[in-house]
Structure 1
């Protein structure tokens, strides 16, 4: 979690929140059209946008969707862009500078930052502007009753436009994929327990499934730097609920009868470490699984003409191998541990992403910024922003074409995202991708359609979602954030380091366990969990 606490003012007066009931009129010389209509303004208005550049988008300035949007809305966008890899640093610098754009878009603004900088008067409260100008947003609130509370900060204000992506397979992206031809060749069934998985990996190691007469098979690998591709992120859920996909805020935390607890201090976690240590000791996990990046993992999966990788975790099989081999990796359902534990690592949100589109309190045209965001939920606008030019990059579905659930399809993608080049914004802006929208994609070639494969594979994960142990999204005030800034990184870095040391044998899991717990105590793990509990109680305890 990036908690940015830089002071943004020199006096208390500048921290006062603008009265946004009148704020949309201040400084505005352009008449705004009726909500939901185009153009948004008759006289062209320029809005400054700070945005992280999405993959496969060459330049927002020359982008085909940008050109079309500006013509349709009569709103000119003046861009300042930054690579996504540098967006946190750029956001920090901008917030500290006092010189803000009209709009922050796709800058990774967290719930905590919305709360902190909203209270400081940097981000504009949007609820009144939404009520007056954003008819599409109001309709979304009416259709999805959970959404408005989910984007409302603890102070009662809304500082972000909603971004809805009810991505079924993303909810359960902590998946494991296994090379099915090896299972078939060795006459093995899909493993369902940790013991069965051990036997499968042992067979991959000892029975030469690639048939080259060389003991070069790597039964299991992973990466701590990919899309939920850490080995422990999948395996540990057979021992204790282990949150590894919801970011640092709730990382490795779980609810224990309503109390926020640390999985990494439990005996169940220790038992999971024993299991993984045994896999490592027998050569069933390679050492690189704990240090390599995603590209290095992909190189193992795509290794020449000889398959050497048996299984690996990831949100999708494609990052495991960049050739056609990815189609032969099939999903392993959540494993049952020796005590019957069988959790799935799942997203704790219901498809909403906060912080995608935020308006600065210094904007002279906040009502136009909100109208622009509201326009993104229009079906025609949304399709162009996501997929590019109709008839070239996507088309409307024809009669008889079926979607992900066998339902009538509504659209067909004609090109991959990487082939659309500079035609779309590729998810940089807020959208309203409901379940109905997503399953409307036509699946005319299921064998080669990764969206279909991911959707179908998730069916075996959903039954093991357990809301009673999942810590929901937490929002921290400025004082809590300041305390967490040091605690969280220190604790997470130490747990990361000790996990690898315990598994590889550089630290003794039996003799060194008490020392590990004592060190966590010295790092003030008690206060860390107290802060988490305080944030949980404020938002969720009735």
Structure 2
């Protein structure tokens, strides 16, 4: 008994000692990973990058940022293709880096608010971000969601206050055949017929594709380079860089509707089908892969095969300035029958800010170990000094400062871009390019500004926010869930029928079936939700 009692007393003593040690061990564990051995705060930054970009940790500006911030920065690069599969898992596991560039959207944070820092409470410590918002109030409205700001936007500069959508046509072919730029659908069809039959590329082969249409997406109605950009010919404004327009929602005189219920949509479907019937577009355009679509634009070297496309700019045909790309110009979208030139509009993505700004270029974990260091890094990133280097490459090798707010890209940077080994974040920057900044040799900015001028008059025809969704029209989490669930059911049901009509034309039976499906699948509920959100911010 004596031995057993002694053992019990020893066990109790050991437990008491252990209870005294635990807080010390916990404290040591909490500090692990927060600072280096020499006391520098450690900040982990996740960057979602594209395949043409070099890892950010190897960029000189990133090394300079680390030195100036006084922190030890641990960079982690994830490619877009991988991140799309990792994002939701990272949120579910609360495995969120201290800072995240182009990773989490406002909707992600709104559904998981406890995981992300609300930047509204930190703006006094972010003077460069405050200056950005003062200069660009639209950018602040874009990310201020119901009094919370879980993400910060980017601004790649005023040159990108342009749509990402344009109609491009082969000017060399027009000139060779003595044709004017078409201004109506009838004229456009006549041009395409000439492209098909009169050998404009001069190779003696009937290999011309008068218009190369992008395939219809499987999960949305509209989107990048989408053939339903022809809706603008009818007076309905698209907004295909982002937002509800991609699901068919539009605004006319302040009233929200869905294009799938309009006569104009039927008119566009019939026109697309007529182009296919006449052999003026690829017979498989609806279902062709994106790779096939893109490759057709670049076939033939300097002897083009394609007459026209919807696209970003001439880079759809090769590097800007190449012999093939130089054959193309942007044109105003031709007017549909019965629509006058002053009623014809163009995609509003540019004038709304959806091309200049993106709303998810910086987020911060609410559990960031070194909050003050994180905020200092963010503010440095949004300075002009680091914004321009994120956009165009590090000073010295890739970018030179030529004056106050003026810069020039070096030949080394242009070669890196052409070689698809870009030493910059470019449009993925977590920063702000102020309006007074100029960058000589920025071919991307120069090109998008130039092609967008063709649509100036059609932008004026839009008539302001009464006819499109501003980028800061937002839904609540519950509204977003309802709309998303409805859209999934609606589009999975109707897109196959729409694809058939785009190829074969619209008969009354098919059109009536489409309308019946839309009415039965809660489309009106979504329209009402978007109307409420629109009315909330557009006065």
Q: Deviations over 1:143-173 (max 9, x none)?
A: 333333332111x122122312345456322
In the superposition, relative to structure 1, how do residues 453 and 98 fare at CA in structure 2: closer, same or farther (>3 Å)? Answer: closer
User: What SS does the corresponding residue of 1:58 show, helix, strand or coil?
Assistant: coil
Aligned to 1:128: 121
TM-fit CA distance, 1:483: 1.4
Within 5 A, what are the aligned runs for 1:13-92? 43-92=39-88
The C-alpha deviation readout for 1:361-388, integer Å capped at 9, x for no partner, is: 1112223222211111222222322222
RMSD: 2.9
Answer yes or no: is 1:141 the counterpart of 2:133.
Answer: yes
Which residue matches 1:279? 275
SS at 1:357 equivalent: strand
Q: 1:529 aligns with which of 523, 527, 530?
A: 527
Q: Distance in 1 between matches of 2:500 and 2:310?
A: 21
Determine the structure 1 residue equivalent to 2:3.
none
1:260, CA displacement in angstroms?
1.4
CA distance in 2, matches of 1:164, 1:452: 16
Partners of 1:427 and 1:231 in 2: CA distance: 22
Deviations 1:95-140 (A, max 9, x none): 1112322122211x3332333323xx12111122111x11112222
Residues 384 and 434, structure 2, Cα contact 8 Å, conserved in 1:
no
Specify the SS of the correspondent of 1:304. Answer: coil
User: Which of 393, 396, 399 does residue 391 from structure 1 map onto?
Assistant: 396
Closer, same or farther: CA 84–203 of 1 in aligned 2, 3 Å: same
Counterpart for residue 116 of structure 1: 111
1:378 aligns with 2:383: yes
Shift of residue 420, structure 1, vs aligned partner: 8.3
Which of 147, 154, 166 is 1:175 aligned to?
166
TM-score scaled to structure 2, two decimals? Answer: 0.82
Matched, 1:313 2:306: no
| Bigger shift: residues 426-435 or 268-277 | 426-435
Structure 1 residue 62: Cα displacement: 3.3
1:327 CA drift (Å): 1.1
When residues 420 and 256 of structure 1 are mapped into structure 2, their CA distance, relative to the original with a 3 A threshold, is closer
State the distance in 2 between where 1:141 and 1:518 align.
46
| Residue aligning to 1:344 | 346
From the CA coordinates, give the structure whose radius of gyration is larger.
2
Structure 1 gaps, min length 5:
1-26, 32-41, 400-407
SS in 2 for 1:336: coil
Aligned pair partner of 2:293 in 293, 297, 304: 297
Q: Which is worse superposed, 328-337 or 383-392? A: 383-392
Of the three residues 192, 195, 210, the one matched with 2:201 is 210
Report whether the alignment pairs 1:232 with 2:227: yes
Report which stretch shifted further, 482-491 or 261-270.
482-491
The residue matched to 2:244 in structure 1 has which SS?
helix
Match of 1:433 in 2: 433
Q: Does 1:455 align with 2:442?
A: no
* CA deviation after TM superposition for structure 1 residue 231, in Å: 4.8
Call closer, same or farther: CA 1:246–1:493 in 2, change over 3 Å.
farther
Deviation of 1:481 (Å)? 2.2
Q: Distance in 1 between matches of 2:520 and 2:420?
A: 52
**CA–CA separation in structure 1 for the residues paired with 2:274 and 2:282:** 12
Kindly tell me the number of residue pairs found equivalent between the two proteins: 485
Call closer, same or farther: CA 1:261–1:349 in 2, change over 3 Å: same
Task: Return the alpha-carbon distance in structure 2 between the equivalents of residues 326 and 93 of structure 1.
Answer: 42
In the TM superposition, structure 1's runs of 4+ consecutive aligned residues that sit over 6 Å from their partners are 27-31
Q: In the alignment, is the contact (CA less than 8 A) between 2:234 and 2:264 conserved in 1? A: yes
Equivalent-residue separation in structure 1 for 2:401 and 2:216 (angstroms) = 37
For residues 430 and 499 of structure 2, the distance between their equivalents in structure 1, rounded to whole angstroms, comes to: 38
Distance 1:410 1:471, change over 3 A: same
Deviation track 1:418-449 (CA, whole Å, cap 9, x = no partner) reads 35846333343311123432xx12259xxxx4
- Paired residue secondary structure (2:519): helix
Deviation at 1:470, TM superposition (A): 0.5
| CA-to-aligned-CA distance 1:52-105 (integer Å, 9 cap, x gap) | 123333323333332222122122222343211232331111111123221222
Give runs of aligned pairs for residues 320-335 of structure 1, distance below 5 A: 320-321=317-318, 324-335=323-334
- Secondary structure of 1:480's aligned partner: helix
Please report how far the alpha carbon of residue 29 of structure 1 lies from its aligned counterpart in structure 2 after TM superposition: 12
Unaligned runs of at least 5 residues, structure 2: 1-29
Give 1:514 shift: 0.7
Corresponding residue for 2:236? 241
